[in-house]
């Protein structure tokens, strides 16, 4: 039997909102904005040329950068799709 006079004093724990596990620092310059800023230095070269050491703040930024590069060169990119052939 439950006593109706009994009260439990506890605080409900606040839950974090759904969202990314990490935050992007607002002061960091993205690879795309850095490429656009330096656009005048490379005459005739592709603007969005992937170089060794290029760092991206997120997977979405990397996808967008390589998508812009592929558009500039003349081919397309496919993200997240793979297919295994019948030989494994």
Please tell me the predicted confidence (pLDDT) of residue 59. 85
Q: What is the DSSP letter of 17?
A: P
- Judge whether 9 lies within some domain: no
Q: What is the pLDDT of residues 31-77, one digit of tens each?
A: 878 777 877 766 677 778 787 888 888 888 888 888 888 888 888 77
- Judge whether 76 lies within some domain: yes
Please tell me the predicted confidence (pLDDT) of residue 5. 62
Q: How many domains does the chain have?
A: 1
- DSSP secondary structure of 44-83: SS-TT---TT---SSHHHHHHHHHHHHHHHT-----S---
Comparison of pLDDT for 88 and 62, the residue scoring more: 62
Task: Look up the pTM and report it.
Answer: 0.49
Query: Could you list the residue range(s) of the whole structural domain that residue 67 is in?
Result: 56-80
Residue among 61, 63, 33 at smallest CA distance from 47? 33
- Judge whether 3 lies within some domain: no
Cα 83-52-73 angle, rounded to 5 deg: 60
Q: How many residues does the chain have?
A: 88
């Amino acid at each position: 039997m439950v006593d109706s006079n009994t009260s439990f004093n506890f605080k409900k724990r606040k839950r974090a909102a759904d969202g990314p596990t990490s935050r992007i620092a607002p002061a960091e310059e993205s690879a795309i904005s850095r490429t656009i800023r330096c656009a005048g230095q490379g005459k005739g070269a592709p603007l969005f040329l992937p170089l060794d050491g290029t760092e991206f703040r997120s997977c979405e930024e990397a996808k967008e950068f390589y998508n812009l590069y592929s558009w500039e060169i003349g081919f397309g990119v496919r993200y997240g799709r793979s297919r295994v052939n019948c030989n494994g």
